[in-house]
Structure 1
Amino acid sequence: MTHDHDLVLRPTAAQTEAALNPPPGRNGGDLVVETLAGLGATTVFGLPGQHALGVFDALRRSPLRYVGLRVENNAGFAADAYGRVTGEAAPLLLSTGPGALTSLAAMQEAASASAPVLAICGQVPVAGLGGGRKGYLHELPDQQASFRGIVKSVHTVRAQSQIPSAIAAAWKSALTAPHGPVWVEIPQDVLLAPAVLPVVTAPDATPDDLVPRPELTAVAADLLSRAARPAIVAGGGVVRADASGKLKALAEKLDVPVVTTFGGKGAFPWEHPLSLQSWLEDRHMTDFLEDADVLLVVGSGLGELSSNYHTFRPRGRIVQIEADLGKLESNHPALGIHADARLALQALLETVTERTDPTAEERVRQVLARVRDRIAAQDLTLEQRVLASVRRALPADAPSFWDMTILAYWAWSAFDPRGTNLMHSAQGAGGLGYGFPAALGAAAADPSRPVLAVSGDGGALYSVAELATARQHDLPVTWLIVDDGGYGILREYMTDTFGEATATELTRPDYVALAESFGVPAVRTTPDALETDLAKALATPGPSVVVLPALLRMFAPTHLA
Structure 2
Amino acid sequence: MTCAELLIRLLRDTHGVDTVFGIPGVHTVALYRGLTDGALRHVTPRHEQGAGFMADGYARATGRPGVCLIITGPGMTNIATAMGQALADSVPMLVISSVNRRDTLGRGQGRLHELASQQQLMAGVSRFSHTLLDPAALPEVLARAFAVFQGQRPGPVHIEIPIDLFDAPASPPATWQAPRLYRPVPDPEGLTAAAQWLREAQRPLVLLGGGCVAAPDAARELVTRLDAPTATTINAKGLLGRDHPLDLGANASLPAVRELAREADVILAVGTELGETDYDVVFDDGFDLTGRLIRIDVDAQQLVRNQTVSLGLVGDAGRSLEQLLAHFPAPLARGGRERTARVQAALGLSHDPALAPFVPLYAALEEALPEAILVGDSTAPVYAGNHLVAQPAPRRYFNASTGYGTLGYGLPAALGAQLGQPALPVIALVGDGGMMFTLSELATAVEERLPVVILLWHNQGYEEIRRYMDAHGVERLGVDIQAPDFQTLAAGFGCLATRVGGPAELARALAARPTDGPLLIEVDAHAWQRSLTSA
Does TM, normalized by the shorter one, top 0.5? yes
Alpha-carbon distance in 1 for matches of 2:189, 2:172: 48
2:378 to 404, 409, 423: 404
Q: Deviations over 1:142-190 (max 9, x none)?
A: 1111121221122221122222222222122223232211110101111
Distance 1:348 1:199, change over 3 A: closer
**Which letter maps to 2:249?**
Q
Distance 1:537 1:219, change over 3 A: farther
2:363 is the counterpart of 1:391: no
- TM-aligned CA deviation for residue 533 of structure 1: 3.8
1:348 to 288, 306, 324: 324
Residues 524-539 of structure 1: matches in 2 within 5 Å?
524-538=499-513
Alpha-carbon distance in 2 for matches of 1:379, 1:236: 26
2:265 is the counterpart of 1:293: yes
**Which letter maps to 2:380?**
I
Alpha-carbon distance in 2 for matches of 1:122, 1:289: 49
Partner in structure 1 of residue 200 of structure 2? 226
Q: Is the 8 A contact 2:139 2:173 kept in 1?
A: no
2:186 to 212, 230, 238: 212
2:392 is the counterpart of 1:418: yes
2:344 to 363, 368, 377: 368
Q: Is the 8 A contact 1:270 1:277 kept in 2?
A: no
2:7 is the counterpart of 1:32: yes
Q: Deviations over 1:234-264 (max 9, x none)?
A: 111111xx11211111111111111111122
Partner in structure 1 of residue 491 of structure 2? 516
Distance 1:198 1:210, change over 3 A: closer
TM-score where L is the length of structure 2? 0.93
Partner in structure 2 of residue 307 of structure 1? 279
- TM-aligned CA deviation for residue 518 of structure 1: 0.9
Distance 1:273 1:525, change over 3 A: same
2:212 to 238, 244, 248: 238
Distance 1:347 1:552, change over 3 A: farther
- TM-aligned CA deviation for residue 129 of structure 1: 1.6
Name the count of aligned residue pairs.
Answer: 523
Partner in structure 2 of residue 163 of structure 1? 138
Q: Is the 8 A contact 2:119 2:130 kept in 1?
A: no
- TM-aligned CA deviation for residue 530 of structure 1: 4.3
Partner in structure 2 of residue 100 of structure 1? 76
Q: Is the 8 A contact 2:216 2:394 kept in 1?
A: yes
Alpha-carbon distance in 1 for matches of 2:155, 2:258: 29
- TM-aligned CA deviation for residue 45 of structure 1: 0.9
Q: Is the 8 A contact 2:211 2:272 kept in 1?
A: yes
- TM-aligned CA deviation for residue 462 of structure 1: 1.1
2:238 is the counterpart of 1:266: yes
Alpha-carbon distance in 1 for matches of 2:332, 2:292: 20
1:332 to 307, 310, 313: 307
2:409 is the counterpart of 1:437: no
Q: Is the 8 A contact 1:84 1:115 kept in 2?
A: yes
- TM-aligned CA deviation for residue 355 of structure 1: 4.8
1:470 to 418, 441, 445: 445
Q: Is the 8 A contact 1:258 1:268 kept in 2?
A: no
Q: Is the 8 A contact 2:128 2:157 kept in 1?
A: yes
- TM-aligned CA deviation for residue 324 of structure 1: 2.6
**Tell me, what secondary structure is at the counterpart of 2:430?**
strand
Partner in structure 1 of residue 98 of structure 2? 122
Which deviates more, 84-93 or 405-414?
84-93
Structure 1 unaligned regions, length at least 5: 1-25, 555-561
**Tell me, what secondary structure is at the counterpart of 1:56?**
helix
Alpha-carbon distance in 1 for matches of 2:416, 2:253: 29
- TM-aligned CA deviation for residue 487 of structure 1: 0.9
Q: Is the 8 A contact 2:203 2:334 kept in 1?
A: no
Q: Deviations over 1:330-349 (max 9, x none)?
A: 01111111211011112211
Alpha-carbon distance in 1 for matches of 2:352, 2:425: 36
Distance 1:321 1:44, change over 3 A: same
2:466 is the counterpart of 1:491: yes
Structure 2 unaligned regions, length at least 5: 530-535
Which deviates more, 376-385 or 321-330?
376-385
**Which letter maps to 1:249?**
E
Alpha-carbon distance in 1 for matches of 2:514, 2:264: 45
Q: Deviations over 1:483-503 (max 9, x none)?
A: 111011111111111254221
Distance 1:364 1:121, change over 3 A: same
Q: Is the 8 A contact 1:485 1:506 kept in 2?
A: yes
Q: Is the 8 A contact 2:430 2:456 kept in 1?
A: yes
Partner in structure 1 of residue 532 of structure 2? none
Partner in structure 2 of residue 23 of structure 1? none
- TM-aligned CA deviation for residue 200 of structure 1: 8.2
Q: Deviations over 1:462-491 (max 9, x none)?
A: 121111101111112111110111011111
TM-score where L is the length of structure 1? 0.89
Q: Is the 8 A contact 1:266 1:417 kept in 2?
A: yes
Which deviates more, 375-384 or 519-528?
375-384
**Which letter maps to 1:472?**
E
**Tell me, what secondary structure is at the counterpart of 1:498?**
coil
Q: CA RMSD in A?
A: 2.1
Q: Is the 8 A contact 1:389 1:530 kept in 2?
A: no
Alpha-carbon distance in 1 for matches of 2:268, 2:355: 33
- TM-aligned CA deviation for residue 379 of structure 1: 7.0
Alpha-carbon distance in 1 for matches of 2:209, 2:12: 32
**Tell me, what secondary structure is at the counterpart of 2:279?**
coil
Q: Deviations over 1:202-261 (max 9, x none)?
A: 05244442221112111110000110010101111111xx11211111111111111111
Alpha-carbon distance in 2 for matches of 1:114, 1:285: 25
Residues 247-262 of structure 1: matches in 2 within 5 Å?
247-262=219-234
Which deviates more, 44-53 or 363-372?
44-53
Partner in structure 1 of residue 533 of structure 2? none
Alpha-carbon distance in 2 for matches of 1:200, 1:475: 39
Distance 1:231 1:64, change over 3 A: same
- TM-aligned CA deviation for residue 58 of structure 1: 2.1
Q: Is the 8 A contact 2:205 2:264 kept in 1?
A: yes
2:32 is the counterpart of 1:45: no
**Tell me, what secondary structure is at the counterpart of 2:34?**
helix
- TM-aligned CA deviation for residue 322 of structure 1: 1.3
Q: Is the 8 A contact 2:498 2:509 kept in 1?
A: no
Q: Is the 8 A contact 2:96 2:158 kept in 1?
A: yes
Q: Deviations over 1:307-339 (max 9, x none)?
A: 325211212111111123332120111111121
Partner in structure 1 of residue 48 of structure 2? 72
- TM-aligned CA deviation for residue 550 of structure 1: 0.3
Distance 1:381 1:313, change over 3 A: closer
Distance 1:359 1:196, change over 3 A: closer
Q: Deviations over 1:85-136 (max 9, x none)?
A: 22112211101111011111111111111111111010101111233x1221
